[in-house]
Structure 1
Amino acid sequence: MTDWRLRASRPDDIEAMYEVWHAAVLATHDFLSASDFADICLQVRRDYLRNRDFIVAVDDGDRVVGFMRVDGTEIDSLYIAPAFHRQGLGRGFVDEAASGIETLEVEVNAQNTHAVAF
């Protein structure tokens, strides 16, 4: 049973998406230095989330709990709030991305053992 649904992102989702991204990276990217993480935070908040379209997963209160971006046949980004890890949301995003295409690609940082395992 899922406690979320997928929809297109909206401009008013950006702050919630940033919070999901931030929590997910803190939970899974322990290989980043504090200064690198701070630099990436600025880039993600000011540029990346504001200038692209995403698919978001929202809970029954329409609060963002995860998001994904697909660029052609590649999953460009996939972040899920830690409270929603291991509940099928990642699989739901991948199934959505794969619908209607023959080959789906994803690239992950080899140091992110959670993403490699997924």
Structure 2
Amino acid sequence: MNIYELKQRTNILSQLLEIWEDSVRATHHFLSDAEVNQIKKYVPQALTGVKHLIVAENEIGIPVAFMGTQDHRLEMLFISSKERGKGIGKQLLRYGIENYEIKEVTVNEQNPKAIGFYEHMGFTTYKRTDHDEEGNPYPLLYMKRK
């Protein structure tokens, strides 16, 4: 597994967008197809706007996961559904903690596996909202590392 910060973002964005969609469809069952397609329009902007974009590649150099971090926050973490359960998320998050001092994350309350993962990685909930940042009825949990 090769993990690195992506400095040149243009050529790889379509691959990362595919990982994002595959991951969301595998984990965000509370979103309709229309909602996924609507959110997908904004993902390229998020990918280019995050300060640090870190990519994990498999042994033949194909991106299989990525995370974005900024100001000690994990802004995004998405793993290809075929690669889930192999420890890639742990590797990425540990890399982020060690290299970017990640201390906080926000997670959808309706994604219990993600909540469990972050709790396992040492995060605890300190705040809950009934809606996401766009005002949609998706409760968010705000978590900090112990």
Q: TM-score, normalised by structure 2?
A: 0.71
Runs of 4+ that moved beyond 4 A: 100-103
The Cα shift of 1:101 comes to 6.3
The Cα shift of 1:15 comes to 0.8
Question: Counterparts of 1:27 and 1:61 in 2: how far apart (Å)?
Answer: 24
CA contact (8 A) 2:74 2:102 kept: no
Gapped regions of structure 1 (runs ≥ 5): none
Q: Which has the higher helix share?
A: 1
Question: Counterparts of 1:5 and 1:102 in 2: how far apart (Å)?
Answer: 20
> Which residue number corresponds to residue 112 of structure 1?
111
Q: Which has the higher strand share?
A: 2
Q: Which residue identity does 2:105 align to in structure 1?
A: V
- Describe the superposition over 1:30-66 as per-residue Cα deviations: whole angstroms up to 9, x where unpaired: 1012221111011113x22233341000112221100
Gapped regions of structure 2 (runs ≥ 5): 118-146
Aligned ranges 1:1-118 → 2 under 5 Å:
4-9=1-6, 10=8, 11-45=10-44, 47-52=45-50, 53-99=52-98, 104-118=103-117
CA contact (8 A) 1:97 1:104 kept: no
Over aligned residues, Cα RMSD in angstroms?
1.7
Aligned length: 114
The Cα shift of 1:100 comes to 5.2
Local SS of the residue matching 2:11: helix
Q: TM-score, normalised by structure 1?
A: 0.87
Local SS of the residue matching 1:108: strand
CA contact (8 A) 1:24 1:82 kept: yes
Higher Rg: 2
Local SS of the residue matching 1:116: helix
Relative CO higher for 1 or 2, CA cutoff 8 Å, sep ≥ 6?
1
Identity of aligned residues (%): 27
